[in-house]
Amino acid sequence: MFPSALDDTHAFDIAQALVEGFNRHYRLFRQTSAEAKQRFEAADWHGQQRAQRERIEYYDRRVAEAVERLESEFGASRLSTGVWQQIKLHYIGLLTDHMQPELAETFFNSVTTKILHRSYFRNDILFVRPALSTEYIENLEPAEQPTYRSYYPTRSTLRETVRQIVEHFGLTLPFVDLDNDVSHILEAVLERLGDGRLKTNFQIQVLSSLFYRNKGAYLVGKIVNGFVETPFALPILHNRNNQLYIDAALFGVDDMLLLFSFARAYFMVDMAIPSATVQFLRSLMPRKPKAELYNALGLQKHGKNLFYRDFQYHLRHSTDKFRIAPGIKGMVMLVFDLPSFPFVFKVIKDFYPPQKDTTRELIQSKYLLVKQHDRVGRMADTLEYSNVAFPRARFEDELVAELKHFCPSVLEEDGDSLIIRHLYIERRMVPLNIYLQDARPDQMEHAVLEYGNAIKDLVAANIFPGDMLWKNFGVTRHGKVVFYDYDEIEYITDCNFRRVPAPRNEEDEMSGEIWYAVGPKDVFPETFGPFLLGHPGVREIFMKYHADLLDVDFWQSHKDRIGGGHVHDVFPYEQRRRFRHRVGQPFSSVDEPLPVLPPGAVDNGYNPL
């Protein structure tokens, strides 16, 4: 029951301290995000990568500071339920006119769950459900930009308007030839519009901040014409002389989904009202859960909170059982899923076979590395959770037996619940080994080509996957191949790429064993073939496109380039979509059939709120 009077003398001050903690967090988060513009203009790519990495750590630091303050100033862990209820009410009051109330609620949860026992995780004490609305929030400060701007061109003013839209961002670097870029964009827009008349509501809406990631800045918006809304994004890049150009025009939901994929690094966006940006983005990608949009904007703790709410909701509205994930079982991870829900749950085992010389800490550090690294569309993002309570009745017995056997240290039974103390959650894909088993020849060709491309993208981003077996890659809904087994990854720059030494004598030659000394970071690309290319059909395709992956020079030359300070270009769209490669190509990807996946590849009906 809620208190009828707010009579505790400290509750208001505690709520105030929590709001201050959150405000400090968002101020620093926003500042780093806004400064992406200057880093982009200065072509400070290493700085951009560093900021992307560091920004991820901000949240936990601010939460730790707030926990510490609440403990030292208010003895927070000794407060009664009644006081916590009052703190929540004051907090809601303090957020009445806040611009980021949903994030502040999540911050409240993050701090209080560090202080309180699990039995307090109830909606009268923390925000199991949101209390404040994020609709219609407007910032009327004169210095603030609106979330998006609307432009109302006619056919005859379209060219001028497109130019204005780009110029509105006030980038300080010159464009190589903005007129030429605008002509390309115009051509693309007119192709989308066809010959039909522009309807009376014809307009172009554009988000007020550019989206920065790696070496690119993306202008994001939509064209509204009658009842049809077409999302678009324009990537702005640097040439060698630090002049700018627009590289492509991306149109339609599929292009947007690839741009905002879970396998890419988070964007840097200057947002006063993140919920308004998310609402706009959701109108571009209606099926993408809000949780993933918050993640893509770097607000991953709120994304995690929303995901958890979606997951709880899904659990209540489904009846199927958690099971061991299909595919070859992991040696270090126990992986399970719920068939009706398109994610997998990964728990680190307590012990591993001898060939896996690793520890829980090392594995966690590799997963963290992936979170902080540029995932270049080739590594799945993971959400890390502590103390997740699952209903025991929804687990298959075989899965419970495996958990008890392999993961006893992280498992706790509490009444009808199974508590898993630590786990990762990531998007479910079709494991590539399973995909290849069922693949038609054209699908096999596509998958093997993609597999090699995935490795090459990882290499360019300074990642050596370690274990490149097919089972460690998955195929997404869009037919992209993505890596998901992180326990053996290393930086390319830390690896020694070596040729297999010539045998010293006949004995060496005949030996079935490795007779030469191998250091912990030594890699022998010539030896990949026998592990990866047992299937003759796969081998043929692989050798056609990716024979260079078996050559030590390929790896060494990338290592040298990265060591020399080169930062790779990452394109979240295909090369042929670039204006420079566009001779005779249609602009849109809409008519391109997506690779047809085998039946298991289709995500089943997860319907986030």
Ligand X SMILES: Nc1ncnc2c1ncn2[C@@H]1O[C@H](COP(=O)(O)OP(=O)(O)OP(=O)(O)O)[C@@H](O)[C@H]1O
Q: Indicate the annotated binding residues for ATP.
A: 325-331, 346
Q: Which is nearer to ligand X, 339 or 595 (CB)?
A: 339
Centre a 10 Å sphere on the Cβ of residue 46 and count the other Cβ atoms it contains: 11
Question: From the annotation, which residues make up the binding site?
Answer: 325-331, 346
DSSP 358: -
Give the one residue of 19, 335, 444, 562 binding ligand X; rule: CB under 6 A.
335
Q: Which is nearer to ligand X, 50 or 405 (CB)?
A: 405
Q: Which of 351, 416, 343, 324 is nearest to 385 (CA)?
A: 343
Question: What is d(CA 22, CA 105) in angstroms, rounded to the nearest whole number?
Answer: 9
Q: Is residue 383 at the binding interface for ligand X, with CB under 6 A as the rule?
A: no
Near ligand X by CB under 6 A, which window of 246-254, 306-314, 320-328, 401-409? 320-328
Q: Least separation, in Å, of the C-beta of 305 and ligand X?
A: 21
**Of residues 485-504, those binding ligand X (CB under 6 A):** 485, 487
Q: How far is CA 578 from CA 158, 235, 404, 484, in A?
A: 22, 10, 52, 29
Question: What is d(CA 139, CA 62) in angstroms, rounded to the nearest whole number?
Answer: 25
Question: What is d(CA 127, CA 110) in angstroms, rounded to the nearest whole number?
Answer: 10
Q: Is residue 325 at the binding interface for ligand X, with CB under 6 A as the rule?
A: yes
**Which helix or strand (DSSP H or E) is residue 293 part of?**
helix 290-296
Q: Is residue 471 at the binding interface for ligand X, with CB under 6 A as the rule?
A: yes
Q: Is residue 465 at the binding interface for ligand X, with CB under 6 A as the rule?
A: no
Q: Is residue 217 at the binding interface for ligand X, with CB under 6 A as the rule?
A: no
Give the one residue of 110, 230, 295, 472 binding ligand X; rule: CB under 6 A.
472
Centre a 10 Å sphere on the Cβ of residue 107 and count the other Cβ atoms it contains: 27
Q: Is residue 284 at the binding interface for ligand X, with CB under 6 A as the rule?
A: no
Q: Least separation, in Å, of the C-beta of 434 and ligand X?
A: 7
Q: Is residue 467 at the binding interface for ligand X, with CB under 6 A as the rule?
A: yes
Q: Which is nearer to ligand X, 345 or 390 (CB)?
A: 345
Q: Is residue 332 at the binding interface for ligand X, with CB under 6 A as the rule?
A: yes
Type of residue found at 399: L
Q: Least separation, in Å, of the C-beta of 492 and ligand X?
A: 19
Query: How many residues interact with ligand X (rule CB under 6 A)?
Result: 23
Q: Is residue 327 at the binding interface for ligand X, with CB under 6 A as the rule?
A: yes
Unique residue bearing structure tokens 């020694």 = 496
Q: Least separation, in Å, of the C-beta of 408 and ligand X?
A: 17
Annotate 185-220 with DSSP letters as a single string: HHHHHHHHHTTSPPPTT-EEEEESS-EEETTEEEEE
Q: Least separation, in Å, of the C-beta of 475 and ligand X?
A: 9
Which residues have a Cβ under 8 Å from the Cβ of 280 and sit 6 or more positions away? 147, 148, 205, 207
Question: What is d(CA 86, CA 41) in angstroms, rounded to the nearest whole number?
Answer: 48
Give the one residue of 51, 189, 250, 380 binding ligand X; rule: CB under 6 A.
380
Unique residue bearing structure tokens 């307590």 = 350
Question: What is d(CA 550, CA 557) in angstroms, rounded to the nearest whole number?
Answer: 13
Which residues have a Cβ under 8 Å from the Cβ of 374 and sit 6 or more positions away? 49, 52, 214, 264, 265, 461, 570
Q: Which is nearer to ligand X, 220 or 332 (CB)?
A: 332
Q: How far is CA 229 from CA 201, 206, 283, 544, in A?
A: 11, 13, 9, 42
| Tokens representing residue 468 in the block | 């490149």
Q: Is residue 597 at the binding interface for ligand X, with CB under 6 A as the rule?
A: no
Give the one residue of 474, 476, 498, 573 binding ligand X; rule: CB under 6 A.
474
Q: Which is nearer to ligand X, 296 or 344 (CB)?
A: 344
Centre a 10 Å sphere on the Cβ of residue 163 and count the other Cβ atoms it contains: 17
Give the one residue of 125, 126, 259, 333 binding ligand X; rule: CB under 6 A.
333
Active-site residue, selected from the candidate residues 255, 374, 381, 457 = 381
Q: Which is nearer to ligand X, 344 or 549 (CB)?
A: 344
Q: Which is nearer to ligand X, 69 or 356 (CB)?
A: 356
Q: Is residue 344 at the binding interface for ligand X, with CB under 6 A as the rule?
A: yes
The dihedrals phi and psi of 284, each to the nearest 5 degrees, come to: -85, -35
Q: Is residue 328 at the binding interface for ligand X, with CB under 6 A as the rule?
A: yes
Q: Is residue 431 at the binding interface for ligand X, with CB under 6 A as the rule?
A: yes
- Is 374 labeled as catalytic in the residue annotation? no
Q: Is residue 550 at the binding interface for ligand X, with CB under 6 A as the rule?
A: no
Q: Least separation, in Å, of the C-beta of 337 and ligand X?
A: 7
Q: Which is nearer to ligand X, 427 or 577 (CB)?
A: 427
Are the beta carbons of 585 and 251 closer than 8 angstroms?
no
Name the residues annotated as catalytic.
381
Residues that bind ligand X (CB under 6 A): 325, 327-328, 330-333, 335, 344, 346, 380, 426-429, 431, 467, 471-472, 474, 484-485, 487
